[in-house]
Structure 1
Amino acid sequence: MRGLKQLVHFGWEQALSCLFPVVIFASLALTKFIPLPFFPRYDWLLLICLLMQWWMVRSGLETRDELKVITLFHLIGLALELFKTQMGSWSYPEEGYFKFFGVPLYSGFMYASVASYLCQAWRRLRVDLIKWPPFLIVVPLASAIYLNFFTHHYWIDVRWWLSGLVIVVFWRSWVTYEVDGSRYRMPVALSFVLIGFFIWVAENIATFFGAWEYPNQTDAWSLVHVGKVSSWLLLVIVSFLIVATLKQVKGRIPTE
């Protein structure tokens, strides 16, 4: 019974940490089936995301430091979106006033929502890191993973080499977290895989509601290729490393 109680408590904390992503998914569903007046759908989504972000900071659910992290993710995600849409990886076929080179500005909030989840979960579950690699290893690794999203269009795709390097670098690293007064731990690499898988599940939901469109979904919706899990896994690793590094710089976590 205690194990079940802990699982329910853990699930509740996770649900609270996912508040921003839940609002995005609910907005995608609402605007998909109920046309809203005055503005195109993409612009309504941008307005909803802006209001949600303002409310989370105003209500104290997010701190100003967390807002800075989320803004950084918004810019990183928007840069990736601009490049990928130009390369034809996916598209945003609907109209919108606030579109920049074919990319609606609300799209950056989908990346920001991942950062919101990480920051919220980190604080709610009192996350700590054990045997975290040095700064001079983590930052170049995160940079190489992010750059590969761009360079693989012109050069070889080294994602699997980078994935292997992640396993080597974080082989002895653990993440610890607290659930109702009890501490638990799991390998950092496993946490990457779990978060990446659930984001892939969320991606299928998002494309079903028309958040964006892959080339094979132009005529009819179909399941996002399972190979995309590797892409999300690497993106989660970048996200986690940025959040962890910034918190380390702020002196909030030990290095060992």
Structure 2
Amino acid sequence: MPRFTPLEQRIDALAHRLLAEAPEHGARARLVEFLVFGAKQAWACVFGALLLVAIVAARLWYPDDAAIARNDALVIAALAIQVFMLVARLESGRELWVIVLFHVVGTIMELFKTDVGSWSYDEGGVLHIGAVPLFSGFMYAAVGSYMVRVYRLFDLRFARYPRVWGTALVAGLIYVNFFTHHFVWDARWLLLAGIVVLYARTIMHFRVFRSTFRMPILLAFLLVAIFIWLAENIATAAGAWIYPHQETGWEMVPVTKLVAWFLLMMISVVLVTFVYPPREPTAPPPDDR
């Protein structure tokens, strides 16, 4: 099955052997599908989960007077995780390109946002560009890793997917607005409406174990945005970065931040289409060889 990496093929074969006697209908069948769904989601999140663990561990146990600054240690840890993902064949070389693109796009935005005071990082270390430690780019790469992996693991297909050029145009405008709204009118609500109009008819088909399910793609965007927002709260509580309202003590990231993450999802989806063009439900699986 070319939609899986070699390691994932072995895991998939083992899972099919273990679940060979599972019923195809009824409550137990639905429970199996739910458990497999959770396992696949966890597997897709492995890069982000490991990076989040490293961030929390660095805050709790990394000594302040260590020879290597905490931020630099996080860069080394993030690099080690990425190398592990490739060596263990959890990601294909084809997917690495889009992850690198996430890294670059994210770092450029980080440089601007820290300069205008949207958020800030602890000082220290040598592995940084301006006020941005290099591990920050890996947080965007973690989103990219999840996106490309979930595409493969669930064999995603899309009914009535909009024209790719239209999605790329809206994504480009969203990215520009992340910068320009500091100086001119903030168009985020107009762009959000554009996404709703663009994807209103699009249905995502995803295969779990034996069954294929359907979901409005806008709902999928929202669920992923909520997940990222929850991870963001954990990361800011661990001091990976702070927003201005957290300078005197940690407070929850406002729920309104979900709008920014929802808009970022649009950029993420378009970047992933560079690797995996959207396919209709009847299209053949991609060849990752």
The two structures have a TM-score, normalised by structure 1, of 0.95
The equivalent of 2:47 in structure 1 is: 20
What is the number of equivalent residue pairs in this alignment? 253
The equivalent of 2:226 in structure 1 is: 197
Mark the runs of 5 or more structure 1 residues left unpaired by the alignment: none
The equivalent of 1:56 in structure 2 is: 85
- Rounded Cα–Cα distance in structure 2 between residues aligned with 1:186 and 1:108: 30
- Rounded Cα–Cα distance in structure 1 between residues aligned with 2:145 and 2:250: 28
Asked if structure 2 preserves the Cα contact closer than 8 Å seen for 1:207 and 1:221, the reply is: yes
Asked if structure 1 preserves the Cα contact closer than 8 Å seen for 2:119 and 2:243, the reply is: yes
- Rounded Cα–Cα distance in structure 2 between residues aligned with 1:18 and 1:58: 17
The letter for the 1-side match of 2:189 is W
Q: Name which one, 1 or 2, has greater alpha-carbon Rg.
A: 2
The letter for the 2-side match of 1:14 is Q
The equivalent of 2:286 in structure 1 is: none
Asked if structure 1 preserves the Cα contact closer than 8 Å seen for 2:40 and 2:153, the reply is: yes
- Rounded Cα–Cα distance in structure 2 between residues aligned with 1:226 and 1:133: 29
- 1:188 CA displacement: 0.9
- Rounded Cα–Cα distance in structure 2 between residues aligned with 1:247 and 1:187: 19
The alignment partner of 1:175 has SS state of: strand
Query: Could you give the per-residue CA deviations for residues 197-218 of structure 1, whole angstroms, max 9, x where no partner exists?
Result: 1111110001001110111111
- Rounded Cα–Cα distance in structure 1 between residues aligned with 2:190 and 2:268: 19
Asked if structure 2 preserves the Cα contact closer than 8 Å seen for 1:85 and 1:103, the reply is: yes
- 1:38 CA displacement: 2.4
- Rounded Cα–Cα distance in structure 1 between residues aligned with 2:152 and 2:90: 10
Asked if structure 2 preserves the Cα contact closer than 8 Å seen for 1:135 and 1:245, the reply is: no
The equivalent of 2:61 in structure 1 is: 34
The letter for the 2-side match of 1:206 is A
The letter for the 2-side match of 1:149 is F
The alignment partner of 1:129 has SS state of: strand
The alignment partner of 2:215 has SS state of: strand
The equivalent of 1:227 in structure 2 is: 256
- Rounded Cα–Cα distance in structure 2 between residues aligned with 1:5 and 1:94: 48
Asked if structure 1 preserves the Cα contact closer than 8 Å seen for 2:103 and 2:140, the reply is: yes
The letter for the 1-side match of 2:47 is F
The letter for the 2-side match of 1:3 is R
- Residues 1:45 and 2:71 are matched in the alignment: no
- Rounded Cα–Cα distance in structure 2 between residues aligned with 1:9 and 1:247: 23
The two structures have a TM-score, normalised by structure 2, of 0.85
The equivalent of 2:137 in structure 1 is: 108
- 1:223 CA displacement: 0.4
The alignment partner of 1:186 has SS state of: strand
Q: CA RMSD in A?
A: 1.4
- Rounded Cα–Cα distance in structure 1 between residues aligned with 2:79 and 2:206: 30
The equivalent of 2:30 in structure 1 is: 3
Asked if structure 1 preserves the Cα contact closer than 8 Å seen for 2:33 and 2:210, the reply is: no
- 1:103 CA displacement: 0.3
Query: Could you give the per-residue CA deviations for residues 106-127 of structure 1, whole angstroms, max 9, x where no partner exists?
Result: 1000000000001111111111
% identity of equivalent residues: 38
The letter for the 1-side match of 2:122 is P
- Residues 1:162 and 2:188 are matched in the alignment: no
- Residues 1:150 and 2:176 are matched in the alignment: no
- Residues 1:99 and 2:125 are matched in the alignment: no
